[in-house]
Amino acid sequence: MDPLRVTARRGSVVEAVHRVHAVAVEDGRVVDSAGNPGLVSFFRSSAKPIQALPLARERDDVPEDELAIACASHRAESAQLAAAARLLARAPATEGDLELGLQEGRPPTRLAHNCSGKHAGFLAVCRARGWPLEGYRLASHPLQQALLGEVAAAAELPTAEIPSAVDGCGVVTFALTLERMAHAFTRIERMPGGAKVAAAMRAHPALIGYEGATDTELMRQRPGWIAKGGAEGLLCAASPEGRGVALKVEDGNQRALRPALASFLGLDPAFADVPVTNSRGEIVGEVLAE
């Protein structure tokens, strides 16, 4: 089957076309697909629920909202910053221990970075394991080696078969096929600590992303699902019945995800609504899956 086709129209004219690859997996087999299930992409932030598994296991003192922020790509909203700050203090660690840069358009603090919750969780795990805080983001650090093992276990692949690189926040990111990403999401709740991670995401979808974020809104529209978006047009999700899905926009444009996801999963048409607006806030077009 061909990839999903998502068009951006301004008025009656098509200005752009995005190709979206999608796959659904159940019980270790592909049950639906569009495009190439074997497409290799970096997991990016979609891996955060898997990267939070050691935190769920090692730190019984971490409440659900802090576990959720460890899975989040947040917008530096007040509730998100508060949860990240509490997790950081619980580690215990300080903002100076976060090996993050600053993000344009956000407050000039490391805590405001959209991955600060994940990094705070990493520091909490290092404290629990007696590992050094310095360099926790590097591939040579025992934390990142352990996280490679978590991703490999979830995807049921040997670690040697998983390419890696440096993510936008400075830690290691791992490359998998879309089929293995979807499969990994079906396994999260079966892995040690996974039930706690999934429960935290379901309880706090607004912490995971933000109002209007594709992952946040999918969890709201489909209660029981877990979902996490990633950079370059990636989204992974899993249903409570064990169906995992992964979608990747070939050109990396995030705006194509919602229409493609709605088409692939048969969601309410309102979910797919992505208007094209101008600087006056006027709707001048739309992004549609065709």
Quick one: pLDDT band at residue 1, thresholds 50, 70, 90?
A: confident
- Across 220-234, b (16+ Cβ under 10 Å) vs e yields eebeebbbbbbbebb
Model confidence pLDDT, tens digit, residues 190-236: 999 999 999 999 999 999 999 999 999 999 999 999 999 999 999 99
Q: Report the alpha-carbon distance of residue 200 to residue 228 in Å, rounded.
A: 13
What is the per-residue pLDDT for 103? Answer: 96
Domains in the chain, ordered, with CATH?
4-289 (3.40.710)
**Of 152 and 269, which is predicted with more confidence?**
152
Q: What is the pLDDT of residues 11-42, one digit of tens each?
A: 999 999 999 999 999 999 999 999 999 999 99
Q: What mean pLDDT is reported for the chain?
A: 97
Q: Summarize the confidence of residues 99-107 as an average pLDDT.
A: 95
pLDDT given for residue 108 in this prediction:
96
pLDDT of residue 34: 98
* Averaged pLDDT, 251-265: 97
Give the pairing of strands 243-249 and 234-238.
antiparallel
Taking 90 as the threshold, does the pLDDT of residue 95 lie above it?
Answer: yes
Neighbours of 104 (CB within 10 A): 6
To the question of pTM greater than 0.75 for the whole model, the response is yes
Q: 105-161, pLDDT tens digit by residue? A: 999 999 999 999 999 999 999 999 999 999 999 999 999 999 999 999 999 999 999
pLDDT (mean) for 230-256: 98
Q: What percent of the chain has a predicted confidence (pLDDT) above 70?
A: 100
What is the phi-psi region of residue 193: left when phi exceeds 0, alpha when psi lies from -120 to 50, beta otherwise? left
Query: So what's the pLDDT on residue 91?
Result: 98
